[in-house]
Amino acid sequence: MPNLTFDEFFDYTTFPLLKFSPTARHLLIQTRCPSWNTSSYENTLWLYDIKNQTKKLITLNLSASSKPKWSPSGDYIALTLKTDNSENKTNDKQTEQHIYLYSLISDELFSIQIGKDILSTFTWSDNDSSLYIATIDLWSIDKENDVYNDEWKDVIQYRQHVVPSNSTIYRIDLNFNNLSLPVERHVVRNVSFLINELLYVSYEKQLIVSSVSKLIEDLNDFELYSIDLQNTLKLTRLTNNEVAEIELQLSIDGHHLFFLTVSLGTNKGKFNNTQYRLYSLNLINGQLTRLGETFQGNINRYAIKYDFGVYILGQLGTEVHIYTQELSTNDLIHHHGWNGTYELIASSNENGPIAFVYSSLEKPMEVYFANNINQLKSARAITNENDLFNQRSLPQTKLYSWINEDDHRVIEGILHYPPGMFESKNLSLLVLIHGGPYWASLNRLELAWHDWASLAALEGWLVLEPNYRGSTGYGDEFLNEIRYRPLSRPGKDILCGVDRLIKDGIVDPHRLAVGGYSYGGFLTNWLITQTRHFNVALSGAGVVDYASAWGMMDVPVPLSYLLGGFPWETPNIYQNEAPIYHLDRIRTPTHIITGEKDNRVPTPQSYILERGLHYLGVPVKLIIFPKEGHSMKDNPWHGKIKVREELKWLRKYGNQSLNDNGLSSNSEQPTSTYALQLYMLLFSIVSIKNT
């Protein structure tokens, strides 16, 4: 088969959502893929008829943040479109917001006006007649003087404890005789926090809400509450655990609330960070039970079974497989399917059928259907969105393990070989480092600007994706061993892996490259201060000074947790682990990219690195993508340009030996991005799109 081309690589589809209807007759499928003509991502919602095995389009315009929900009868689907709600780009507070109802009976999409406040989430009641919605009360800043502008909006988004954003919960009653009429909103109550998820509990007539903050600074901003609908003044806090609760689901009988927990870090020493965990809260007696307690890996996702158990998607090492657990037992049953990664799983309310999203490094992502859990290996694909990739030659891969010489920890990673060179020797090496740090490189195929090992291998590189200390899937102890040494310890893990590859004769020691995005950028910046062996570096959204990053980023608590405290409490760690204080050691030509509006890893960190390398005479190039935040989700062209420019940098410097000064031989004079160039790059959106 022909090799995958550069352009084809970016035409990959993912599946963010998968849900059975209450009747188990239909399956709701969301797809996400780039729309090059509109310079945006297209989120599409499909309705799959299980009996007839047919797929029907609902909308091409689904909001990226929308989580469509089935009505209790299964006759309607509530959703939001991207022209509304959080994706509305205007500051006009008179803009009417909508929820849309798709009718399976009439095959129509109805627009329901819900008011002028920005919708954050919604849920159905116990029947099709009403919805509960949560809105963000942005206008509460200064109602008397009617103040609202971009400056205040930024304060709300990134500093909510200075100007809190209240939420209001409403009940809206639907008139199915004429859905085009405006609905009346009935206030349930106001709360002094942002609401992330909302669930209706029918047997006790209550709402479950999860609070959230865009600024991870006070862990009390992330908790679960219940609201008694018969006495709405009663707001009961259900958790106090210094983690974020996500993916809320109710048991079939409505008596148990299930949720995943995400560790955010703490300076109080009360809790250590852990991998994702799954809990069940008994809403009758308040008992909290951890599920999968004996499982040593990461619980990525889950689904409620028809018989009161759960399906668990558990990650061990580079594999994510399906497990089940019943509420009455601690035993976890491993269901042996295909090697690879099960991304999502959906279970029907009836006995048997399941659907799941699956991929591996040899098989592209699709949705599969099985009549029961015992038929995993014979499940059939019900989508073919990525069929092109079955017709292309993908790099061969293998697991590779080594030992950190300092403490004898076994580390593993994935090797991606160039076409026709599987298990060859003396290859050019690119170390491509995953972000997180609490994530891992997996046996999965997600072709994207931040996960392009396959493309680099097709360009002739042997690619190593190391699962360094801090990665998920190897136990909580492995995850936490980066605390107090968040760069130097995983950095040594990676360097030992490179040394092992050289000693095994797999890699040419004179052709080494390193790169990564987010925490992968953190480690890239650190590694090029520790060795001059890398010919070239690709730094994406990395930090060079942790004290200033802590003061500017929207996740200060996780960072201070990793560094053992605040900058004034552990100044030696902040200095020893920060590349800025070792910048004079760098001789590696470095390519830097960042988003103009990155608040996760502040954009000025890339300015500092670029300026430092320019003054040191090291070849450097900085690209800033306009309007982009940390996730680079505004425009697919930006991700494509990012990888294109990084490949150019690899071709230019990657196979050149270093001279005595550490600079590439025959290299041109160091290049830099000056103030005027930065200004033009930031604001000349049209020019970068044309590029």
Residue 640 domain-assigned (yes or no): yes
State how far the Cα of 538 lies from the Cα of 458, in Å rounded to an integer.
18
Residue 372 domain-assigned (yes or no): no
* Residue 139 identity (one-letter amino acid): W
State how far the Cα of 304 lies from the Cα of 311, in Å rounded to an integer.
6
Average pLDDT over residues 392-417: 97
Residue 190 domain-assigned (yes or no): no
Closest C-alpha among 23, 22, 71, 18 to residue 47: 18
- pLDDT over threshold 90, residue 313: yes
Q: How many domains does the chain have?
A: 1
State how far the Cα of 469 lies from the Cα of 130, in Å rounded to an integer.
49
Write down the pLDDT at residue 144.
Answer: 36
Sequence-distant (≥ 6) Cβ neighbours of residue 555 within 8 angstroms: 216, 264, 600
Residue 650 domain-assigned (yes or no): yes
| Range with the poorest average pLDDT among 223-237, 253-267, 505-519, 661-675 | 661-675
Q: Locate 671 and state its tokens.
A: 């290049």
Sequence-distant (≥ 6) Cβ neighbours of residue 634 within 8 angstroms: 40, 627, 628
pLDDT grade for 672, boundaries at 50, 70 and 90: very low
- Bridge-based pairing of strands 536-540 and 590-595 is parallel
Which tops the pLDDT comparison, 446 or 452? 452
- pLDDT over threshold 60, residue 145: no
pLDDT grade for 94, boundaries at 50, 70 and 90: low
- pLDDT over threshold 90, residue 141: no
Residue 231 domain-assigned (yes or no): no
Write down the pLDDT at residue 137.
Answer: 77
Write down the pLDDT at residue 37.
Answer: 96
From the number of C-beta atoms within 10 Å of its C-beta (0-12, 13-18, 19+), residue 353 rates as buried
| Range with the poorest average pLDDT among 66-70, 330-334, 423-427, 491-495 | 330-334
Q: Could you report the per-residue pLDDT of 30-85, keeping only the tens digit for each?
A: 999 999 999 999 999 999 999 999 999 999 999 998 899 999 999 999 999 987 44
Q: Could you report the per-residue pLDDT of 360-382, keeping only the tens digit for each?
A: 999 999 999 999 999 999 999 99
Average pLDDT over residues 100-109: 95
Question: Is 60 in contact with 79 (CB distance < 8 Å)?
Answer: no
State how far the Cα of 590 lies from the Cα of 539, in Å rounded to an integer.
7
Closest C-alpha among 262, 144, 217, 146 to residue 599: 217
Residue 285 domain-assigned (yes or no): no
pLDDT grade for 270, boundaries at 50, 70 and 90: low
Percent of the chain at pLDDT above 70?
88
State how far the Cα of 62 lies from the Cα of 31, in Å rounded to an integer.
10
Write down the pLDDT at residue 272.
Answer: 79
- pLDDT over threshold 50, residue 318: yes
Segments forming the whole domain that contains residue 623: 395-654
| Range with the poorest average pLDDT among 134-148, 221-235, 513-527, 665-679 | 665-679
Using alpha carbons, list the distances in angstroms from residue 520 to 234, 528, 608: 45, 12, 18
* Residue 473 identity (one-letter amino acid): G
Q: Locate 116 and state its tokens.
A: 């002028």
Helix, strand, coil share of the chain (percent; to 5): 20, 35, 45
Supply the mean pLDDT for the chain: 89
Sequence-distant (≥ 6) Cβ neighbours of residue 89 within 8 angstroms: none
Q: Could you report the per-residue pLDDT of 416-444, keeping only the tens digit for each?
A: 999 999 999 999 999 999 999 999 999 99
- Cis-peptide, bond into residue 437, ω within 30° of zero: yes
Write down the pLDDT at residue 484.
Answer: 96
pLDDT grade for 269, boundaries at 50, 70 and 90: low
- pLDDT over threshold 60, residue 513: yes
What is the enclosing helix (H) or strand (E) of 190?
Answer: strand 185-191
- Per DSSP, the three-state class of 520 is helix
Residue 642 domain-assigned (yes or no): yes
Is the pTM above the cut of 0.85? yes
Write down the pLDDT at residue 201.
Answer: 95
Write down the pLDDT at residue 653.
Answer: 96
Average pLDDT over residues 628-632: 95
Write down the pLDDT at residue 677.
Answer: 43
Question: Is 171 in contact with 126 (CB distance < 8 Å)?
Answer: no
pLDDT grade for 268, boundaries at 50, 70 and 90: low
What is the enclosing helix (H) or strand (E) of 364?
Answer: strand 363-370
Residue 526 domain-assigned (yes or no): yes
Write down the pLDDT at residue 84.
Answer: 46
- pLDDT over threshold 70, residue 248: yes
**CATH number of residue 483's parent domain:** 3.40.50.1820
* Residue 48 identity (one-letter amino acid): Y
Write down the pLDDT at residue 307.
Answer: 79
Which tops the pLDDT comparison, 38 or 679? 38
CB neighbour burial string for 593-628, b if at least 16 within 10 angstroms, e if fewer: bbbbebbebbbebbbbbbebbbeeebbbbbbbbbeb
- pLDDT over threshold 70, residue 689: no
